[in-house]
Copies of this chain bind each other. A is one copy, B any other.
Amino acid sequence: MNTRPPTLEEVAQRAGVSTGTVSRVINNARHVSEKSKRAVQNAITDLGYVPNTAARSLASQRRGAVVLVISSDDPALFANLFFAEVITGVNAVLEETDLHLMLLLAASQRGRDRFGQVLQSRGADGVMLLALKENDPLSKMAEDSGLPAVHGGRSLDRAPQWYVDADNRGGARTAVEHLISTGRKNIATITGELDTHAGMSRYMGFREAVVLAGLSDKRVAHGDFSESSGAAAMKLLLDDHPDLDSVFVASDAMATGALAVLRERGKRVPVDVAVVGFNDIVTAQHTQPALTTVRQPIEALGREMTRMLIRLLNGEQPTSLILPTELIIRDSA
C-alpha cells in the first residue's frame, strides 16, 4: 500500500522525453510541442504522478502555502462565528489556486515564537493577520520578515500597508440614520473601547449621523464591548439622560446587556427605547426582542484578504479595501 509515488524522472522515461520537458509541461511554460505535451500528460495520468511538494519548494524557493495567523483567542472573536466565516472565505479563494492554508493561533508567546519560525524558515509565501491587538508584535514581525502580508482589520496606532476592513463608520452611520428615520430624536450611544479602530470608527459614525441631522451627540456612555459593560453603560445613560428614546450600541454583546437593563427599568423596546447593535452575532436573533443590528461581511473579508495576498504574491500592486456593512432590521428598532 505504501509504494513510493512516481517521480518526475519516471514520468520523463515513460513519456520518452527529458525531465526538463516534463517540468515545462507541468508548469505549463511555453516552448513545448503539442506532441511531447500530450505524451507527458498521458504518462502523468498513467502513472498517477503528483509532484512532491517539498522538492518543488526547495528548488523553486516557493512554499505553495500561505499562513493565517490569529492573534486573539478572545471569546468575543469566536462568539460570532467570525472565525469559521473568515476561514470559509479564505478557503474559497485558495481553492482556485494551488496554495494551501496553514493556520496558526498566536495568542501565546509560544505561538508567536512559532510564527517567527514560519517567517524565518520561509515556511509560507505570505501572511494574513487577523484580530491583532493594539501594538501587537505580530504585525512588526511580519513586516520585518519581508514576506507579503495583509491584515484583516486595522489598529489605531499604525495603519498596515495592506488591509481589508469592514466599514465600521458607515455601518454606525446607517444604524443611527435608521433610528432617525423612524422618528427618534434623543439618540444615545454606548461605545466600545475607543482605543480600537473599530470602537472609535463606530463612535465617529454615530456622531456624524447625529450631528448631520441637527441632533445632540451628548448622550454617550463608554463600554468595552462586553455584555456587562453594556449593562453598566445603559444604567448610566438612563440616569443621566432620562429623555433618551433610542440607543446605538457598538456591539451586540453590549446591546444584550443594555436590553436586560431596559427590561429591569420597565422600558419597552422598541416603543420607549429603540436599540441597534453591531456585529449580528448568532444570539442577536434570539434576544427579547430580536436585535436590529449591523452585519459585517466576514466571509467576504476572508475572501478579499486572500485575493489581496495572492496579488501581492504575483508581484501586483493591490489596494486596501473597506467592505460595506448591512443593516439587519429586526424588532428592537
Give me the interface of A with B, judged by CB distance under 8 Å.
Answer: 1-2, 5, 48, 50-55, 57-58, 63, 65, 73, 78-79, 81, 83-85, 87-88, 91, 95, 98, 100-105, 108, 110-111, 114, 117-118, 120-123, 144, 146, 282-283, 286-288
Please measure, in the bound complex, the distance between the C-alpha atom of A85 and the C-alpha atom of B1, giving whole angstroms: 34
A206 to B: closest C-beta gap in Å: 26
Instruction: Give which listed residue, B50, B58, B118, B288, contacts A121 with CB less than 8 A.
Output: B50
Quick check: B87 and A105 within 8 Å, CB to CB? yes
Which residues from chain B contact A101 at a C-beta distance below 8 Å? 102-104
Quick check: A55 and B53 within 8 Å, CB to CB? no
Please measure, in the bound complex, the distance between the C-alpha atom of A95 and the C-alpha atom of B286, giving whole angstroms: 37
Instruction: Give which listed residue, B5, B85, B111, B114, contacts A122 with CB less than 8 A.
Output: B5
5 contacts between A and B (CB under 8 A): A87-B105, A91-B105, A101-B103, A102-B102, A102-B103
The chain B residue with its CB closest to the CB of A97 is B114
Give the 5 A-B residue pairs with the shortest CB-CB distance, closest first.
A54-B57, A50-B120, A54-B58, A2-B146, A78-B84
Q: Is the interface of A mostly helix, strand, loop or mixed?
A: mixed
Instruction: Give which listed residue, B51, B114, B283, contacts A95 with CB less than 8 A.
Output: B114
Please measure, in the bound complex, the distance between the C-alpha atom of A169 and the C-alpha atom of B118, giving whole angstroms: 42
How many copies of this kind of chain does the complex include? Answer: 2
Which residues from chain B contact A83 at a C-beta distance below 8 Å? 83-84, 87
Quick check: A121 and B51 within 8 Å, CB to CB? yes
The chain B residue with its CB closest to the CB of A256 is B286
The chain B residue with its CB closest to the CB of A99 is B114
Quick check: A87 and B103 within 8 Å, CB to CB? yes
| Interface-central residue, A5, A91, A108, by most chain B CB under 10 Å | A91
On whether A282 and B79 interact (CB within 8 A), knowing A48-B120, A95-B111, the answer reads yes
A258 to B: closest C-beta gap in Å: 15
A52 to B: closest C-beta gap in Å: 6
Please measure, in the bound complex, the distance between the C-alpha atom of A19 and the C-alpha atom of B50, giving whole angstroms: 31
Please measure, in the bound complex, the distance between the C-alpha atom of A51 and the C-alpha atom of B117, giving whole angstroms: 9
Please measure, in the bound complex, the distance between the C-alpha atom of A58 and the C-alpha atom of B54, giving whole angstroms: 5
| Interface-central residue, A58, A73, A104, A111, by most chain B CB under 10 Å | A58
A68 to B: closest C-beta gap in Å: 8
Please measure, in the bound complex, the distance between the C-alpha atom of A20 and the C-alpha atom of B98, giving whole angstroms: 35
A141 to B: closest C-beta gap in Å: 13
A106 to B: closest C-beta gap in Å: 9
Instruction: Give which listed residue, B79, B91, B104, B146, contacts A81 with CB less than 8 A.
Output: B79
Extra contacts, 16 of them, besides A98-B117, A283-B286 (Cβ < 8 A), are A1-B146, A2-B146, A50-B117, A52-B122, A53-B63, A53-B122, A53-B123, A65-B102, A79-B282, A87-B103, A91-B111, A100-B104, A100-B118, A282-B282, A286-B286, A288-B288
Quick check: A102 and B104 within 8 Å, CB to CB? no
Please measure, in the bound complex, the distance between the C-alpha atom of A117 and the C-alpha atom of B122, giving whole angstroms: 22
